[in-house]
Structure 1
Amino acid sequence: MLTVEQGMAFLGAAMLITLSPGPDNLMVLSLGVARGRRHGMAFGLGCAMGCLSHTLLAAVGVSALLAASVTAFTALKIVGGLYLIWLGSQALRSRGSAPQAAAQGPQATARALFVKGLLVNAINPKVVLFFLAFLPQFIVPANGAIAWQTLQLGLLFTLQAALLFGLLGYFSGYAGQWLMTTPRRAMWLDRIAGTIFVGLGLRLISSR
């Protein structure tokens, strides 16, 4: 089982990353503003559930690497750290973005939007890379059961994403107005997210 310290550290970082402006949460905002909170919540919950597939891939991949070679696991952490730093630099250079209206096109049902969010997230290779980069730094090899630790972390990420995306969809009208009224707010959220990514990347590379 995860230790309390391990779980709390991961949960704090995961929530900050989930809340930072990105394609998923901006789409949740967009759908909520344009089509109503029910549709925004459905798409957001689908995106969150899509994380389960990446959790399974990460659990198998990380465990296999660690079992095969400590050097391979270290290489994964270094590559993952560099990837997180690159994501952070992109966010730090961003000028912010606001949700765009998504009312164009045929009206999809809430169920269809849930499935769309699920598939969009599940088949996104960038999310696979993110999970392989993010989860290992919160794994403690000395505690054993690497796959089980990875599964717990991934499930924790999925649950917090479902909660936050659900709330974001529910309050999408207010959140969308808050971002669109002052675009600089989105820019500063990007700055915060970028700093988090860079810090996590450096921590991952330097950890042993």
Structure 2
Amino acid sequence: MSLELWIAFVAASAALLALPGPTVILITSYAMNQGRRTGLATIPGVALGDFVAMTTSLLGAGAVLAASATLFTALKLVGAAYLVWLGFKLWKSRPELGEITSTGSSQSLGKMFWNAFIVTALNPKGIVFFVAFIPQFIDPAEPAFIQFVILEATFVTMAAINIALWVFLTDRFRAKFQNPRLLNSLNKTGASFLMGAGVFTALVGRNS
């Protein structure tokens, strides 16, 4: 793979990652709720989710989803329902200004990890997108497997960095809000957007 082709992929990926989606909404809601320590769980969760989605795409699942309206719709509705459920859970949660306590923090971080992973990986639109996106940066004159490894490692790394930036920026923004009522309102706003993303995912058409 030429350096020029790789740079083009980095630029295209950066543009894609700059657009906030359900994953970013979830991660910023967690960071606003409990601070930057949530990044310990959400960053690897998102990275693993992107890795699974891209690997699944490259193994051909994306082509199956693109060809099967029933399978695509089923997976889309499952993902949408999960987003709505997470939004509901965030709506009911009570934001805390302090750090996560050591007691029970492992369980909380574990839940955040799996939620971040599922929201990122369980996205049929993303899987189909990767099938259409990745081949544009493959040089047919060179071994495809090595190129796939390079592109996947690049994207997953960039996705992790992107989420880390969102976590730390949100935490810095959060520190300026000492009013529990205001923090609670911001948390509910994030929850509303998350539920809205789930509803939108359920309603959007296959080819939109």
TM-score band w.r.t. shorter chain: 0.5 to 0.7
Match of 1:201 in 2: 198
Q: 1:26 aligns with which of 25, 34, 52?
A: 34
Deviates more, 1:69-78 or 1:143-152: 143-152
Assess, with a 3 A threshold, how the Cα gap between structure 1 residues 104 and 92 changes in structure 2: closer, same or farther. closer
| Secondary structure, counterpart of 1:10 in structure 2 | coil
Shift, 1:194, TM fit: 1.4
Moved segments of 4+, more than 6 Å: 146-153
Mapped partners of 2:152, 2:111: distance in 1: 17
Tell whether 2:50 aligns with 1:55. yes
Mapped partners of 2:53, 2:81: distance in 1: 18
Match of 2:141 in 1: none
The normalised TM-score by structure 1 is 0.59
Mapped partners of 2:115, 2:164: distance in 1: 19
Unaligned ranges ≥5, structure 1: 29-39, 106-115
Q: 1:158 aligns with which of 160, 163, 169?
A: 160
Tell whether 2:76 aligns with 1:77. yes
| Secondary structure, counterpart of 2:118 in structure 1 | helix
Encode CA deviations 1:92-146: one digit per residue, 9 max, x unaligned: 333x3113346869xxxxxxxxxx9xxx67993322211124x444566597146
Paired residue total: 174
Mapped partners of 1:47, 1:142: distance in 2: 22
Mapped partners of 1:201, 1:93: distance in 2: 17
Conserved? CA contact 2:42–2:116, under 8 Å: no
The normalised TM-score by structure 2 is 0.59
Assess, with a 3 A threshold, how the Cα gap between structure 1 residues 104 and 15 changes in structure 2: closer, same or farther. closer
Q: 1:124 aligns with which of 113, 116, 140?
A: 113
| Secondary structure, counterpart of 1:78 in structure 2 | helix
Shift, 1:80, TM fit: 0.1
Encode CA deviations 1:165-185: one digit per residue, 9 max, x unaligned: 34456x4xx844x44x31112
Measured on the aligned residues, the alpha-carbon RMSD in Å equals 4.2
